[in-house]
Chain A
Amino acid sequence: MTRFDRVEPRLPDLLTQLAAPSLPDYTDDVLARTAGLRQRPRWTLLERWLPMGVLAQRSVYIPRVPWRTVIVAALLLVVLAATLAWIGAQRRAAPPFGLAKNGLVMYAVDGDLRTWNPVDGSTATILSGPTNDFTGIFSRDGTKLAFLRGEPPSAPSGPELISINVANADGSNPIDLTGPLDAPDQWDWSPAGDFIAVNSKIDGRFTLQVVPTDGSERPRVLDTGMDVTFVSWLPPNGGEIVFRGVGTTPDGTRSGIFAISPDGGTPRALTSTDGDRDDGYQGPTPSPDGKHVLYQFWDPVAEREHLRVLDLATGVDKEVGPTGSRYGEGNGMYSPDGKVIAFRGYGDGGFQLFVVPADGSAEPRALTGFTDGDAWHEFSPDGTKVMLNRFGAGTLLIDVETGEAEALPDKVTEPGTWQRLAP
């Protein structure tokens, strides 16, 4: 046995002796210094659990089966019409991007998934039971839904585990796609609806994975070498997955926006890789045509958020807004046709919702007064409304033109999403 064999098991004790932890004499100085510093306003932070999938889409018309005869018995006519209506209801699918018809709004209440019909105001529970189900998002064609299900931890002190499940849009035939994941953070349907991209923790790092939605395979890891957040498929074809990556550079740990093929390979940097590890290049959101990406960053000196739009072809990078809001702008979302951006202006005590033409042809226009607390917003599939979900404090559907709002009947605690239907 060497001397070090005897020392190694005692390293924790020896290091403690060496460092002699004690309350340092500068403790009060540190506290005095922090007491004089303003915290970053909570409402300038991007929420997590962002359903990136239902944000921006375009439509085509799927023709219905024509009448083939006029000489049929009345009863047969009724049966045929009913059959066609049923088939239409089952198979009418919206295309992945562009304007679409508004379908149901889905949200979670106490571990169950519920829908609200904006046409007649009716609500329905589509998935209930002892499981804890939440944060559902419809596929881009509106025929399927994916949702999160809380799983029991593997150990009493272990992390909370969550699986991604897929069901028909009415909640029937749910299947577990992923098994337990550690802290899945963002996830997104591919344009064709055949895959979901998700990031979750593997060995303590947020790792990008893709999983087929037919349940045929478990998630496949895409090795980016980075900590991956804000995952979304790049429109219009989903040939790449866009994400925010944090990795080691010669200048330290930095962030940037990247794209990677769903088959893997080397990530492609869409931006410089000089962003702050925590606050740089946050919330990348591709436009519906895949030509631009919205993102934001926090300027700690000016103490304000900046919302930017990057032209992927030219590299031209422009500010969205500004609105004069005290803490800047962020949380940008494209309308389904990509013509309008809805975003927040952060002020003292909360945020204001604004809309602005994506081409910058007009000044930003406030849609709401100040509201506080955590929230989520997205456009309706037809682009006429913005759904503002103030978690636990009600959900508003705000008319983009008039600013008039109506409230959903349930108070919801997770982001609600809107089903797209073919027009």
Chain B
Amino acid sequence: MDQRELVDRAGRGDHDAFAVLVRGSIARLDAAARLILRDPELARDAVQECLVRAWKSLPGLRDPERFDAWLHRLLVHSCFDLLRHRRRRVIEVELDPIDAPFTGDASTDVADRDELDRVLQRLDPEWRAVVVVHYFLGLPLPEVAAVLGIPVGTAKSRLHRSLEVMRLAYDAEATPEPAELPRGQLA
């Protein structure tokens, strides 16, 4: 059974079809939520909320082909809703990718990954979400904009500025003081 049929059946109340869809998506949703929120427990809450919304609203999804994009949008907004309700409390928890597959030079990968972990923590969630949706979920910028509910120009601007912040951080790695990074700015 292809995804379109699964979505159609799930939208008509078939929970078994929904379970198949969930099992095919939840790992990436959970990972994306952890990258955006930097907190496994919050990520769990966001994914649960996202999937509850998805189940309840599936009858309203007109285009089954857009299921993945729709789910990503629900996830990102669940993440933002959680942050908003918790009044943006500081959430900076190290992720522990012990099962991560490694390719190439392991020591370089680990160093780059650890630095990326630190750099991501310096970005505001809105900026982090652009990076995660674009680079981790692999969506082109127009779809990033649609998922986040922002204009394409804003998505481009946020991505560009996020990359500049990351560049500053990587290049400042050798200096004793970290570079001053903008926080709380929105494009």
Q: Which residues of A contact B (CB under 8 A)?
A: 2-4, 6-8, 10-24, 26-27, 29-31, 33-35, 37-42, 45, 48, 203-205, 225, 227, 246, 248, 251-253, 277-278, 300
Contacts and interface: CB of A to CB of B under 8 A. Distances in A.
Given A2-B167, A18-B35, A248 B152 contact: no
26 contacts: A4-B170, A6-B112, A12-B138, A14-B109, A16-B136, A18-B35, A18-B95, A18-B97, A19-B136, A20-B97, A22-B27, A23-B27, A24-B47, A26-B44, A29-B48, A31-B22, A34-B52, A39-B55, A40-B56, A42-B60, A203-B142, A225-B151, A246-B149, A251-B84, A277-B149, A278-B57
B150 interface: yes
Contacts of A204: 142-143, 145-146, 152
B31 A34 contact: no
A12 B35 CA distance: 12
B132 A22 contact: no
Nearest to A15: B136
Given A14-B109, A24-B30, A39-B11, 15 more contacts: A7-B116, A22-B27, A24-B47, A29-B48, A31-B15, A31-B18, A34-B15, A34-B51, A34-B52, A35-B15, A39-B55, A39-B58, A40-B60, A204-B143, A277-B149
Contacts of A18: 35, 95, 97, 100, 113, 116-117, 120
A252 B115 CA distance: 31
Nearest to B50: A30
A50 to B, nearest CB: 12
Which of under 10, 10 to 19, 20 to 34, or 35 or more describes the interface residues of B?
Answer: 35 or more
Interface in B143-187: 143, 145-146, 149-152, 163, 166-167, 170-171, 173
Interface of B: 11-13, 15, 18-19, 22-23, 26-28, 30-32, 34-35, 44, 47-48, 51-52, 55-60, 62, 77, 80-81, 84, 95, 97-103, 109, 112-113, 115-117, 120, 131-132, 135-136, 138, 142-143, 145-146, 149-152, 163, 166-167, 170-171, 173
**Binding site secondary structure of chain B:** helix
Contacts of B18: 31, 34
Contacts of B113: 14, 17-18
A6 B109 CA distance: 11
Given A12-B136, A30-B22, A3 B100 contact: no
A13 B59 contact: no
A17 B97 contact: yes
Contacts of B48: 26, 29-30, 33
Nearest to B108: A6
B103 A13 contact: yes
Contacts of A29: 48
A26 B100 CA distance: 20
B3 to A, nearest CB: 14
Contacts, number: 160
Contacts of B28: 21
Nearest to A17: B100
Contact of A19 (B32, B56, B57, B115): B32
Closest 4 CB pairs of A and B: A204-B146, A19-B31, A21-B31, A42-B59
A37 B59 CA distance: 13
Looking at A17, A26, A205, A246, the one whose CB has the most chain B CB atoms below 10 A away is: A17
A148 to B, nearest CB: 15
A43 to B, nearest CB: 9
B26 A24 contact: yes
Contacts of A23: 23, 26-27
Contacts of A277: 77, 149
A183 to B, nearest CB: 8
B56 A4 contact: no
A201 to B, nearest CB: 8
Contact of A3 (B109, B131, B171): B171
Contacts of B146: 203-205
A131 B174 CA distance: 65
Contacts of A11: 116, 131, 135
A205 B166 CA distance: 29
B167 A4 contact: yes
Contacts of A39: 11, 13, 55-59
A7 B116 CA distance: 9
A7 B27 contact: no
Contacts of B47: 24, 26, 30
A97 B146 CA distance: 37
A253 B55 contact: no
Nearest to A48: B62
Contacts of A252: 77, 80-81, 84
B23 A27 contact: yes
Contacts of A13: 103
A300 B52 CA distance: 12
